[in-house]
A = this chain, B = another copy of it.
């Protein structure tokens, strides 16, 4: 199938014309100058195709033309980058004509960017760009592990300069690629550094768990064990790998940790209990359960003054419509009771990567200053 398709497309490309009755050429998504977007999907035999886009609260019905192409043109969309998928007779599928994919182990979404009149903080602009490196490090227990590392513009040329490091963790079923491909972490930093709003920093984005959540090795979900294994890997393997292979400033005030959702829960667990290692701890809609507050914050809750003394910033961001808003409110009440200092940003919106980009661009301007 892929082979035949490739040969057909090769034919089209080399001859400039399609064979009669061949699969039509599809452009999707097509973002228009007025911020409306046309989505298209070829499915002549489908009965119902809907667009599931995160700029809409409900799926939008699409209409089929005589060639079998389903399409919809939206109303004007608020500029941002959004995940979306097609629902084809009940089956969720990504957009086959869009190579911008949401890296995830549990679902497939495509990505569409609506830029609007002026570039957004995550829009690729003509500014100096950092480098994203895909690296492997070694764990005796877990084998060869992937990590994505951002080095800021000038890192290669300024061979004598050392940099602070932000460890940035993804959400529950995401991968080490999600923070760059969906969160645009590298582009956000490129832009903020170019504007003088953020310090040049290294960002380390590991595969944020020991095993896949839907574990192919154990066949079961074991969150606490998984977290303990990842903690060992993080402190014994990842952190030394980064400090040995990159020009890092090796003190707690030049180390930050942040993360989204499940990775936000991991961030607070690693960060608040290890304030000798991190000067900055930032949770983006951090995943947590009330009955685990004491267990997960054992060291921090024993000595709140040490937390306040060691941390230059403890920050929590969460959206008003986020399913985790309530438990985060409860957590902040506990922090107040314990007299643990923190800053918070209560944003609009829900448990989304649109909010992740907002949170990262907010805290990036507060780090290492």
Chain A residues proximal to chain B, CB less than 8 Å? 1-3, 5-7, 9-10, 12-17, 25-27, 30, 43, 45-46, 52, 54, 59, 83, 85, 87-94, 96-99, 101-109, 124-126, 129, 131-136, 138, 143-144, 156, 159, 171-173, 175, 180, 186, 213-214, 216, 219, 221-224, 245, 261-262, 265, 287-289, 292, 323-324, 350-352
Inter-chain contact A292/B14, CB cutoff 8 Å: yes
The interface residues of chain B lying within 8 Å CB-to-CB of A172 are 6, 9-10, 13
A144 CB, min distance to chain B CBs, angstroms: 5
A81 CB, min distance to chain B CBs, angstroms: 13
Give the dominant DSSP class at A's interface.
loop
10 contacts between A and B (CB under 8 A): A1-B107, A2-B107, A14-B262, A26-B214, A46-B89, A93-B108, A97-B214, A99-B175, A125-B144, A126-B138
Inter-chain contact A43/B287, CB cutoff 8 Å: no
The interface residues of chain B lying within 8 Å CB-to-CB of A261 are 6, 10
A94 CB, min distance to chain B CBs, angstroms: 6
A287 CB, min distance to chain B CBs, angstroms: 5
Interface centre among A88, A91, A101, by most chain B C-beta atoms within 10 angstroms, is: A91
Given contacts A13-B223, A89-B45, A352-B3, contact A136 B129 (CB under 8 A): yes
Inter-chain contact A126/B99, CB cutoff 8 Å: no
Chain B residue nearest in CB terms to A148: B134
Alpha-carbon distance between A3 and B324 when the two chains are bound, in angstroms: 11
A241 CB, min distance to chain B CBs, angstroms: 11
The interface residues of chain B lying within 8 Å CB-to-CB of A1 are 52, 59, 85, 87, 92, 107
Alpha-carbon distance between A13 and B17 when the two chains are bound, in angstroms: 50
Inter-chain contact B351/A219, CB cutoff 8 Å: no
